[in-house]
Structure 1
Amino acid sequence: MERTVRADASTPAPQPRLDGIPSQRGPVGSATALPRTVAVVPSEAPRVRVRRVPRPWRLLPTPTGTPFTFAYVAVLAVTSLVAAHAGPALVHALYQGSSTDVVHLVRTPVLVLVGSAMWIAGGVLSPYAIGLLLVLTVLERRIGGARTAAVFLLGHVLATLATEVPVGIAVLVGHLPESSLHRLDYGVSFGVATSVGALAGLLTPRLRWPLLAAVGWTLVSDLVAFTDPMTNWGHLISLGIGVAVWPLVRRWRDAHTAVRALRVAGR
C-alpha cells in the first residue's frame, strides 16, 4: 500500500541546490542560510606631506604674473638712470618739484604725492629698491596688482601726511623756521615699509615675527641715531599701517586665491 506524505505548512520547502556549491548551515527553523556580508572598513590612509619645491624665480616680477610691480620697477629704473646721468641742477629741480614738503602738499597734493614715489634715494641698487622689488612681487602674487598698489599708496600718503602736517603746525606756532616748509622729501621708503608690514600678516608665524623684529629693530636704530627724525618716524608709522591692514589683506588674499582657482578650473 502506497503511503502519501503531506507537507506541513510550517515545514520549509527544500531549496534547490546548485552543483558545486556546498550547502550552508543556518539557524534553526530557517531556510538555507545566506552568507553574511562583512563590511570592511578601510583603515585611515596615512597623510602624506607634500614638500613644496622652492621657486626663487617667483621673487622676481613678470609682465603677466605681477604687472603692477613690473611696470613700477621699470619706471623707477628709468628715473634712477635720469638721476644718475643728468646734470646736478636738473636732478635737484626734479627732486624739488616732486618733494612732498608742506608748501607742495598745500598747492598740488596729488601731483607731488605721486611724483615723490617715482624716485629712489640711492638708486636702483639701494636697500629700499631691493626691498621694493622683493616685497611688492611677493605681495602682488598673493593679493593682486590693484590691491598691492592700494597698500603701497596708503602707506605712502598717510605716513607723508603724518610727518609733514606736524611740521606745518610747528612752523605756525613758531617752533620751527619757515625753511622747514620746503624740506626736501621724496622716495619710496614709506610705501615699502607699509608693504613689508602688510606682507608679514600673510606669512606663517615662523617667518612673520622674525621679519617684523628685524625690520622694526632697523627702523628703531635709525630713529635713535637721530639723523633724520621726521623720516625715521615716518618709517615706523608706515610699518604700523601695514600691520593695521592685516585683516584687509587676508580677505584680499582669500578672494584672490578663489579667483585664481576658478580660472584654473575653467581652462
Structure 2
Amino acid sequence: MKALTASRFRSWIRAAWTYVRRAPGTFVWLAVLLATTVVSRHLSAEQLQVVLGDRSTNLHHLAEDPVRVLIASAFWLAGGGWVTYFLLYNVFHVPAERWLGTLRWVTVVAIAHVGATYLSEGVLYWAIRHGRAPASAVDTLDIGVSYGLAGVVAVLTYRIAPPWRYPYLAAVLVFYLVPLFVHLNFTAVGHFTAVLLGLCCYPITRSRKGVWSPVAAVRRMRRTAATT
C-alpha cells in the first residue's frame, strides 16, 4: 500500500513538473510575484507606498526613467491577492504561452503592457493639461500586471475555434468596455487599450497551428474517463 502511494505521489510530481515546464515564463513570473507579495506583506503601509511609488509607471517616472519602471512595475501587485493571479495566470497565460511559445507570448505581454501604459498615461496627461485632473496626478500610482493579462486574454481569441471564438470575444470586449462607461479613468482606458493591442497581435498568431474547441475538449475528457 505504501509503495502504491509513493508511486502515485511520484507520478503527481512528474505531472506537475511537466505542466510547469510547458509554460516556464508564466511560472517564473508567478514565482517573482510571490516573492514580491511576501515582501509587501512585511512592509508597513507607508513603506509599501514608497516601494510601489518608486516602481510606478506614472507620468513623472515615464519621463525620467521609463525602462526601469516599465519592467519593475510588472513584478508587483498593487491590488488583489497572489492566489487570484495564480488562478488567472493558469487560465490565460499558461495556454497562451504553450500555444504561442515563450518568445511570442512575452512579445504580446510586452506590447500590451507598454502600449496600454503609455496610452492611458497619455490620456491622463491630456486631462491634466485641460484641467480635468489635478497636477498631482503625475505621481498617480500605476503598477501591476493587469495590462499584460488583458492583452493575453484578448489574443487567446485566435486560439478558440469558431463559432465559440465570437461569444468569447464579445464577453472580453463587454467586460473591459463597461468600466469606460461606469467609471472612466486612466486604468479603464489602459485595460481596454491592452485588449485592443492584444487583438492587434493577430500576425504573431498566424503561424501557430491548432485551435481549441470546448466540444472537442469535453469529448477528450469523456474518452479519458472511459479508459481509466
TM-score in terms of structure 2 length: 0.77
Q: Deviations over 1:27-51 (max 9, x none)?
A: xxxxxxxxxxxxxxxxxxxxxxxxx
User: Is the partner of 1:205 in helix, strand or coil?
Assistant: coil
**Larger CA deviation: 206-215 vs 228-237:** 206-215
Q: How much has 1:214 moved relative to structure 2?
A: 2.0
Distance in 2 between residues matched to 1:191 and 1:203, nearest whole Å: 19
Amino acid at match of 1:67: P
- Which of 105, 128, 133 pairs up with 1:148? 105
Q: Which of 155, 158, 161 in structure 2 is aligned with 1:198?
A: 155
Q: Return the match for 1:75 from 29, 32, 57.
A: 32
The superposition leaves residues 139-192 of structure 1 with CA deviations (integer Å, 9 ceiling, x where unpaired) of 111111121111101100000000112322443454432101111101111100
Query: Gapped runs of 5+ residues in structure 2?
Result: 1-14, 210-228
Match of residue 233, structure 1, among 183, 189, 196: 189
Unaligned 5+ segments in structure 1 are 1-56, 255-267
Aligned with 1:76: secondary structure?
helix
Deviation for aligned residue 1:95: 0.9
Greater relative contact order, per chain length (Cα 8 Å cut-off, separation 6+)? 2
1:107 aligned to 2:64?
Answer: yes
Q: 1:224 aligns with which of 175, 181, 188?
A: 181
How far apart, in 2, do the equivalents of 1:170 and 1:113 lie?
Answer: 22
Residue correspondence of structure 1 range 32-181 to structure 2 within 5 A:
62=20, 64-120=21-77, 121-126=79-84, 128-181=85-138
C-alpha separation in 2, matches of 1:152 and 1:80 = 21
The answer to whether residue 168 in structure 2 is matched with residue 215 in structure 1 is no
Structure 2: which amino acid aligns with 1:203?
I
Identity, in percent, stands at 32
Q: Tell me how far apart the structure 2 counterparts of residues 175 and 221 of structure 1 sit (CA, whole Å).
A: 21
Per the alignment, residue 198 of structure 2 pairs with 242
User: Which structure's CA Rg is the greater one?
Assistant: 1
Q: Which amino acid aligns with 2:205?
A: V
Change (3 A) 1:78 1:243: same
| 1:250-265 → structure 2 map (5 Å cutoff) | 250-251=206-207, 253-254=208-209
Residues 102 and 122 of structure 1, relative CA distance in 2, 3 Å threshold? same
RMSD: 2.0
In structure 2, the CA distance between the partners of 1:167 and 1:222, relative to structure 1 (3 Å rule), is closer
3-state DSSP class of the match of 1:83? helix
Preserved CA contact (<8 Å) 2:154 2:172 = no
